[in-house]
């Protein structure tokens, strides 16, 4: 008979670091929601602080997998799913909480998340081809999704300076029935770079 939690028993040590990454990303989303509910800036900053921690765990899981020689297809899929939460959905949620709440902002933030999902799906599909004769991918096509950490750092600086809500940097523009905050363009640029086919970044 199958033992209870048999799937969890098959996880490698690196996979638990990956799950920690997902845990941090989920916590960041909850922190953004709590800020919108109660208005405590401390909650927002805690959520933003969880993204660098997710970044560290994301780096560690690969190192641990190579150290223990336990890389697996399951681990790669777990890593991608965790990255979608921590470096796709969470930054978008934090940006929304900071005040990027106009209709055009929603579209750009949704585009950013869609680019992140597409970027990770393409990586998983092409990883074997990109690795060539070796067992390691030599370069990234497009920027890796964890680079969205830069966006969260910018939002954290804005939050620290009180430049959120009605005080967002660059203000707000009314386009038709919806509001547009120019600051959201950094998410458009980040998403576009992630899905670039011509931009190749060497993988360390």
pLDDT of residue 11: 62
pLDDT tens-place string over residues 33-52: 999 999 999 999 999 999 99
Q: Where do the domains of the chain lie, and which CATH numbers do they carry?
A: 6-202 (1.20.120.1760)
**195 has pLDDT over 70:** yes
What pLDDT, on a 0 to 100 scale, did the predictor assign at position 126? Answer: 74
pTM (predicted TM-score)? 0.87
Confidence tier at 168 by pLDDT (50, 70, 90): very high
- Judging by beta carbons within 10 Å of its beta carbon (0-12, 13-18, 19+), is residue 193 exposed, middle or buried? middle
Q: Does position 165 have pLDDT exceeding 80, yes or no?
A: yes
Give the bridge partners for 175, in sequence order: 178
For residue 143, what are the contacts with CB-CB under 8 A and spacing of at least 6? 190, 193, 194, 196, 199, 201
Share of the chain above pLDDT 70, in %: 79
- Among the residue ranges 6-15, 71-80, 95-104, the one predicted with the least confidence is 6-15
């Amino acid at each position: 008979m199958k033992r209870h939690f048999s799937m969890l028993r098959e996880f490698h040590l690196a996979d638990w670091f990956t799950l920690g990454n997902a845990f941090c990303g989920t916590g960041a989303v909850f922190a953004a929601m709590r800020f919108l509910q109660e208005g405590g800036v401390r909650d927002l900053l805690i959520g933003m602080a969880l993204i660098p921690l997710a970044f560290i765990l994301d780096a560690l899981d690969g190192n641990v997998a190579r150290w223990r020689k336990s890389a697996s297809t399951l681990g790669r899929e777990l890593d991608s799913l965790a990255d979608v939460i921590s470096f796709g959905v969470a930054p978008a949620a934090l940006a929304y909480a900071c005040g990027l709440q106009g209709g055009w902002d929603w579209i750009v933030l949704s585009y950013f998340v869609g680019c992140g999902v597409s970027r990770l799906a393409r990586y998983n599909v092409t990883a074997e081809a990109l690795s060539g004769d070796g067992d390691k991918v030599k370069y990234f096509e497009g920027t890796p999704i964890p680079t969205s950490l830069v966006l969260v750092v910018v939002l954290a600086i804005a939050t620290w300076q009180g430049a959120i809500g009605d005080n967002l940097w660059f203000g707000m523009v009314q386009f038709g029935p919806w509001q547009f905050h120019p600051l959201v363009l950094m998410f458009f640029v980040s998403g576009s770079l992630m899905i670039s086919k011509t931009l190749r970044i060497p993988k360390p």
